[in-house]
Amino acid sequence: MKNLHKITIIGVGLIGGSFALGLKKLGLIDEIVGYGHNADNLQLAVDLNVIDSFSTDIKTAVENSDLIMLSVPLGVMQTVLRDMQPFLKADAIITDAGSAKMSVVEAVQAVFGELPSTFVPGHPIAGKEQSGVAAACEDLFKAHRVILTPTVNTDAAALQTVQSLWQALGANVQTMTPAYHDEVLAATSHLPHLLAFALVDLLNEHDELGNVFQYTAGGFRDFTRIASSDATMWRDIALYNSDAISKWLKHYQNAIGHLIELVDAKDGPALHHLFSEAKAARDEHIVKK
Amino acid sequence: MKNLHKITIIGVGLIGGSFALGLKKLGLIDEIVGYGHNADNLQLAVDLNVIDSFSTDIKTAVENSDLIMLSVPLGVMQTVLRDMQPFLKADAIITDAGSAKMSVVEAVQAVFGELPSTFVPGHPIAGKEQSGVAAACEDLFKAHRVILTPTVNTDAAALQTVQSLWQALGANVQTMTPAYHDEVLAATSHLPHLLAFALVDLLNEHDELGNVFQYTAGGFRDFTRIASSDATMWRDIALYNSDAISKWLKHYQNAIGHLIELVDAKDGPALHHLFSEAKAARDEHIVKK
């Protein structure tokens, strides 16, 4: 792993804060600097020993930095990249924690006019209900999956460095292309989140039955848990992975159409087949996981 | 509460078994008899002290019985009603635990040619992942909701007796019409179950991405938990509450269509509004519940 003296966390919230805190505890980095607009939040991060110091000036924050971790909302990525680009060291590694990857790759391409060899897009699949640096914890990524999505230009050393950091934090690192990442996450994460939001919204807005939430049980609570996620983050994901999400929403809409046909036809054998195949797949791939 | 000397459990599985076991522990009933086709299962229920005795002969099981609890799959209700009808005491209370109520009301109407005043349809909203009498437990219904759906003919005394039994088991009993029950349950329970089955089925059958289940996290696990439910039971629910379920599937299909429009239009404000309204509704009605 490349020697890292100074790293910069752009956006010190739950994810950026937990990344910083874990590395600080390991003592692998001489100096961890936080950057953001909110000095109170950054001071809190210092007080919590999440970062060593902070700056609200981008030049001060990133100059001489060996690695930049972008842990800001997807909608802010391009602005931050543009602000920091003039002050980066030539060989600074740029990585991120965005939930969609093609949009970050495109933002880097737009700002740098190319894809730097030191750019290593990434996505830690971890989180919790709380957000903000106060919720940061050093083992947030432990035994969790982190997906790195090197571009065609990413060099092996930069990839190895970022991978080593995540592994030092206990994560299971896996690599794939940005496009495949976005498809897979659209199907397995973005789609169910949007479906949960849509169900709660449908029942909430439906006047016909009164407050039906009072009749819900544990199944509904679990099914809709992800509808308590942060609305701003999910708006950004829906906007910045819109192609893949739209495609999977349409696949799902067709699947619901098929289900309606089976229910209307009272086709017991086909319904039983669909339910038992789904149950078997979940029991095999999810329950046993 | 009416004095109950003998009650009969038709179908001694998780629900019927837990109902019997709870009442036995309370010592309220002189004799609890189980009925079914599988003598081994019924003997197991006796061995587990869930019931006092059993018979695989319907006449023996129901004659002189003060209350019949039908805890069989929806698809079997009418057959069982037809088999037992000739042997019932005139004032025997008939109740059930089916997840849909209109279909049971229609089955009783078909068999009896009327809706008896002693017929009290019911639905305990409780369960667990395991099924069968071995999973029965006396506190399955404790602090859980039981919905009773008296018909226009149900007399107050019969309703009161059934309500008292459920209350003795610790349940919160609520009454509503059979039709309203079926609408509410279609929206809050049957719809999410079918949506979860459909999502797992879609990802399972989709060859394009390979095994995507390996990339799922806790959100997906929770969202799809109800897709590990029993396929036969859910086939029956889909068949026996098909009108309400079809209607809510169509509402939901329209909601997904609306979401696709917003995603395709990259309408950030509208997406944010939808997600934040849903989050607020869930946080208020479900999280705080």
Please provide the DSSP assignment of B138-153 as one string: TTTTTT-EEEE---TT
**What is the mean predicted confidence (pLDDT) over A256-283?**
97
pLDDT of residue B112: 98
Q: What is the ipTM of this complex?
A: 0.91
Q: What is the per-residue pLDDT across A88-125, written as a single tens digit (0 to 9) for each?
A: 999 999 999 999 999 999 999 999 999 999 999 999 99
pLDDT of residue A176: 97
The residues that bridge with A69 in the sheet, in sequence order, are A9, A95
Top residue of B215, B232, B258 to mutate, by most chain A CBs within 10 Å, is: B215
CA distances from B30 to A45, B4, B22, B129, B162 (A): 67, 8, 13, 31, 16
Q: Does residue A267 register a pLDDT over 90?
A: yes
pLDDT of residue B40: 97
| B196 interaction partners in chain A (CB closer than 8 Å) | 223, 278
**What is the mean predicted confidence (pLDDT) over A173-181?**
97
pLDDT of residue A221: 92
Are B216 and A283 an interchain contact pair (Cβ–Cβ within 8 Å)?
A: no
Among all residues of chain B, which has the CA nearest to that of A236? B268
- Residue B91: its H or E element: none
State whether residue B250 sits within 8 Å of chain A by CB.
Answer: yes
Alpha carbon dihedral B162, B164, B165, B170, in 10-degree steps, equals 130
The alpha carbon of residue A199 is apart from the nearest alpha carbon of chain B, in Å, by 7
Q: Cα A192 to the chain's mean position, in Å? A: 15
With a cut of 70, which residues of chain B have pLDDT below it?
1-2, 129, 289
Bigger pLDDT: B214 vs A6:
A6
| A277 interaction partners in chain B (CB closer than 8 Å) | 201, 204-205
Residue type for position B175: T
Q: Does residue A264 register a pLDDT over 70?
A: yes
Q: Does residue A190 register a pLDDT over 90?
A: yes
Phi-psi sector, A2: left (phi>0), alpha (psi -120 to 50), beta = beta
CA distances from B79 to A264, B70, B72 (A): 23, 11, 10
Among all residues of chain A, which has the CA nearest to that of B174? A215
pLDDT of residue B128: 75
**What is the mean predicted confidence (pLDDT) over A159-169?**
97
Q: How far apart are the two ends of chain A, measured CA to CA in Å?
A: 31
For A201, the closest of B183, B272, B277 (CB atoms) is: B277
The alpha carbon of residue B242 is apart from the nearest alpha carbon of chain A, in Å, by 6
The residues that bridge with B119 in the sheet, in sequence order, are B94
pLDDT grade for A2, boundaries at 50, 70 and 90: low
pLDDT of residue A126: 86
DSSP letter for each residue of B151-178: -TT--HHHHHHHHHHHHHTT-EEEE--H
The total of other beta-carbon atoms located within 10 Å of residue A90's CB is 6
> Residues 100 to 159 of A: which have CB under 8 A from any B CB?
125-126, 144-145, 147
Are B183 and A272 an interchain contact pair (Cβ–Cβ within 8 Å)?
A: no
* C-alpha span between A281 and A283 (Å, rounded): 6
- Per DSSP, B219 falls in state H
pLDDT of residue A209: 84
Tokens of A262: 């089976």
**What is the mean predicted confidence (pLDDT) over A159-188?**
97
pLDDT grade for A1, boundaries at 50, 70 and 90: low
CB-count burial class (<10 Å; 0-12, 13-18, 19+) for A5: exposed
pLDDT grade for A238, boundaries at 50, 70 and 90: very high
Q: Does residue A140 register a pLDDT over 90?
A: yes
Top residue of A188, A190, A213 to mutate, by most chain B CBs within 10 Å, is: A188
* C-alpha span between B202 and B233 (Å, rounded): 21
**Nearest residue to A254 (alpha-carbon basis) of B274, B280, B206:** B206
Percentage of chain A surpassing pLDDT 70?
99
CA distances from B173 to A220, B27, B118, B159, B169 (A): 20, 21, 18, 11, 10
**What is the mean predicted confidence (pLDDT) over A79-85?**
98
Q: Does residue A195 register a pLDDT over 80?
A: yes
Q: Is the Cβ–Cβ distance between B260 and A253 less than 8 Å?
A: yes
pLDDT grade for A130, boundaries at 50, 70 and 90: confident
Q: Is the Cβ–Cβ distance between B201 and B228 less than 8 Å?
A: no
pLDDT of residue B186: 97
